[in-house]
């Protein structure tokens, strides 16, 4: 307020209608801006030094000593000491006044984890979502920590797909991660455990088809696996081959598997309301024009069609136009070609077909012997 009065015009200065502003202490602080302090001269300091009286050091008074007479015994000095007790008196009124200025904190919301009667059962070290492959491997191996184990299984499919093509982290640890995922056990009856494990194996196969196709083939024939694990490995090999061919989304929908996660980074995406405008081939102006035409002209066309063919109640089914059906088919085909691997035939033959047929032939030869 004091600074505002120095800057603003009269009548426009800042002013707060508070009781504290009218206090004597507040007025003292506000008058600080009106103090005009200037540097004094050196002569004033010299005059002040001359005017000060010289102080003489105090002489210590010596107590007169009485010399005893010859032959008389000296009497000892007797000094009386008095004990003084110091008592601290606390003023309750000051405490109450000081306590009025303190604002109490609000009570925190109830934490469901603190609802346990036994404090030893409260879990405060919540596991963090794995961000790196090494953290994912550690989480999948930590079977004693149920929360961390479940979080690792849920995060594995999306994390593996995000790491495809970004650095060498996944390529350096892909075999170790695959060995851990194949050996996962559903000890805690996790929901969608088998689907998540299958999605993780498919993601590993898609990340490096040649290398992991051969690795999973060797694991299927030579590793000591249970029947469920062996079936999961064979299913992952087949579904990963179809995903490389561009049928991943269709297989996920038909089998009820979780949809393929979005592995694109947020920095490469437009805002949602802007991205929706460019998802189709039409420009925003064409899309708006088409919407206005549908809202205005479509009811007129429907009424004209009803006058010729009869009311809508008698129509059993409405067929889409051939152009719309053909356009949707072309979009699906373009999407499938876009997701298809470049050297698909080479990858599938060398990484999948030759490995499976070769191992199967060796198994049949050994069994015949």
Predicted pLDDT of residue 72? 47
Q: Kindly write down the DSSP assignment for every residue of 323-349, as one continuous string.
A: HHHHHHHHHHHHHHHHTS-TTHHHHII
Which domains does the chain possess?
2-30 (no CATH), 133-267 (1.25.40.720)
Predicted pLDDT of residue 337? 60
Tokens representing 209? 């088809």
Contact 190, 148 (CB under 8 A): no
345 pLDDT band (50/70/90 cuts)?
confident
pTM exceeds 0.75 for this model: no
Phi, then psi, of 308 in degrees rounded to 5: -95, -45
For the cut 80, the answer to whether the pLDDT of residue 313 exceeds it is no
Predicted pLDDT of residue 243? 86
Predicted pLDDT of residue 175? 92
217 pLDDT band (50/70/90 cuts)?
very high
pLDDT tens per residue across span 280-298: 656 667 777 777 777 777 7
For the cut 60, the answer to whether the pLDDT of residue 114 exceeds it is no
Predicted pLDDT of residue 247? 80
Predicted pLDDT of residue 136? 92
Predicted pLDDT of residue 68? 47
């Amino acid at each position: 307020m004091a600074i505002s009065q120095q800057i603003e015009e009269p009548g426009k200065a800042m002013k707060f209608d508070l009781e504290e502003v009218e206090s004597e202490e507040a007025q003292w602080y506000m008058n600080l801006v009106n103090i005009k302090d200037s540097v004094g001269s050196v002569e004033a300091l010299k005059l002040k030094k001359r005017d000060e009286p010289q102080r003489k050091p105090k002489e210590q008074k010596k107590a007169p000593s009485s010399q005893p007479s010859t032959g008389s015994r000296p009497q000892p000095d007797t000094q009386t000491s008095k004990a003084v007790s110091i008592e601290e008196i606390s003023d309750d009124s000051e405490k109450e006044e000081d306590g009025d200025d303190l604002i109490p904190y609000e009570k925190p919301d109830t934490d469901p984890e603190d609802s346990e009667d036994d404090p030893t059962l409260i879990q405060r070290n919540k596991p963090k979502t794995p961000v790196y492959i090494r953290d994912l491997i550690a989480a999948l191996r930590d079977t004693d920590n149920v929360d961390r184990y479940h979080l690792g299984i849920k995060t594995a499919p999306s994390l593996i797909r995000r790491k495809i093509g970004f650095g060498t982290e996944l390529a350096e640890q892909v075999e170790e991660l695959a060995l851990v995922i194949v050996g996962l056990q559903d000890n805690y009856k996790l929901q969608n455990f088998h689907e998540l494990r299958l999605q993780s194996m498919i993601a590993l196969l898609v990340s490096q088809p040649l290398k992991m196709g051969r690795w999973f083939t060797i694991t299927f024939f030579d590793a000591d696996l249970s029947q469920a694990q062996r079936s999961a490995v064979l299913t992952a090999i087949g579904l990963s081959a179809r995903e490389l061919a561009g049928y991943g989304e269709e297989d996920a929908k038909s089998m009820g598997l979780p949809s393929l996660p979005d592995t694109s980074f947020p920095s490469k995406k437009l805002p949602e309301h802007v991205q929706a405008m460019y998802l189709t081939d039409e420009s925003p102006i064409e899309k708006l024009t088409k919407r206005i035409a549908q809202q205005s002209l479509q009811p007129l066309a429907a009424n004209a069609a009803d006058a010729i063919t009869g009311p809508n109640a008698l129509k059993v089914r409405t067929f889409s136009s051939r152009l719309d059906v053909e356009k949707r088919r072309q979009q699906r085909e373009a999407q499938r070609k876009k997701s298809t691997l470049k050297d698909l035939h080479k990858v599938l033959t060398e990484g999948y077909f030759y490995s499976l047929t070769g191992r199967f032939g060796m198994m049949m030869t050994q069994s015949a012997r």
